[in-house]
Every structure is written in structure tokens, then in C-alpha cells.
Amino acid sequence: MSKTLGLSLKNFKSHKLKRLLAFVIDVLILLCIFFITYNILGLPDYPAVKLGMDHLNALQGTPQAQAAADTVFREFNSVYLHSLIIWFIYELVVSIILKGSTIGKLICNIRIVGKKSGEFSPKTIIRLAIRSLVKMLFLFFLQGLPFLISSLSIFANPEFRTGVDYFAGTKPVDRQAQVSPEACEVH
């Protein structure tokens, strides 16, 4: 059985900081991945959005400004979608390989497991996919506000679960908790 991230007031600050630090590490890794994918594939094309915004600023107050704004918004949405797809793939693939952790969570000694079992199992892989997909859908369709609220829920519960953890039936645990090798096998 896994040990949850802590229920005492003494551990509250350190565990919420661990989750925040894990997130920051993952964002830095994603920035590197974005840089690499842009240089290899040309996607996501952040420079095109910047150029479009500069062009739009130059056209302010002219009849062409609306058409330029439409183009910039289309380009931004494309870049945003490509970024979310890369994030989704990173989070899901790395979480499966590292049995419930992204690189940031691994460094911070956190992994995500099934809420009921408290272990990483084949069923947890489905839960991780749901967790990542819900997070990306919140970010894409609702521009991140529900994701922010969901993330802030870490501070409101003793298990430090986010809203997407509740939705997917997952919870964070200390990575050092004993995991049986059978629980990690994918059939």
C-alpha cells in the first residue's frame, strides 16, 4: 500500500512546494522540447505568431487590421494546439515509462497512482491518459481557467489532489513507497 503525500500541517508546505517545483521542472523540459520540435518540424511556429502580432500592430486603425487580426488568431490557435499536443504526448509517455511520474515528479519524488488501489497498475495507465486528456481539453477549450482552478485545489485537500486527479480517480504519492513489480506490468 502506498503512502499518501502527507496529512500533517508540518508536511503541507513542503508537499505543495514539491508539486509546484515538479510542474516548473516539467515546463522547462517542455520548453526544450518545443525548441527542438520547432527546429526539426517548424512546429509550433512561435515566430510566425510574433511576426503576425508585429504586423497587426503596424496596421492598427487601418481597414486591413481586421483581416490581419483574424490571421494572427488562427496562427496563435494553431501554435497553441501544437503545444498542447506535445505536452500531452510528453506527459502521457513519460508517465507510463516512469510508472506514474513525469521527469519533474521523479525529481521531486512524486508519482501518480490510482486513488483506490494506491498503486501503479495497468488500470492506472488508462487513468493517466484520462488525466492528461482532461487537462489538455480544459486548456484548449476553456483557455486554462478551469485548469488553474483545478491546480489550486491542491491546497484545499489533505491528499494534494488536483481537480483532474479527482476526475481521473488518481492521487499523488511519495515515489519511495514500495511498488510490487507485478503491479507495474502492462498486459
109 occurs within a structural domain: yes
pLDDT along the chain (187 residues), means of 10: 46 76 95 96 94 94 93 94 96 96 96 91 94 90 76 81 90 73 42
- Position 12 scores a pLDDT of 55
pLDDT for the residue 177 = 58
Q: What is the pLDDT of residue 11?
A: 59
User: Can you give the pLDDT at residue 4?
Assistant: 47
Grid cell listed for 14 = 513542503
In a domain, 18, yes or no: yes
User: CA dist 185 to 2, 96, 124, 145, 180, Å?
Assistant: 17, 11, 11, 36, 9
Instruction: Classify residue 111: in a domain, yes or no.
Output: yes
pLDDT at 142: 82
Burial class (CB in 10 A: 0-12, 13-18, 19+), 127: buried
Domain containing 74 equals 9-184
Which pLDDT score is estimated for 66?
94
Residue 4 lies in a domain: no
Q: Where are the alpha helices (DSSP H) in 42-162?
A: 46-58, 65-97, 103-107, 122-141, 145-152
C-alpha neighbours within 13 Å on the C-beta side of residue 91: 22
Note the pLDDT of residue 15: 79
Query: What's the pLDDT score for residue 181?
Result: 43
Q: C-alpha distances in angstroms, 147 versus 10, 133, 165?
A: 27, 12, 11
- R_g over Cα of the chain: 19
Query: Looking at the 3D structure of the chain, how many domains does it have?
Result: 1
**Does some domain include residue 19?**
yes
Does 2 map to a domain? Answer: no
160 falls within a domain: yes
At 115, is the secondary structure helix, strand, or coil?
A: coil
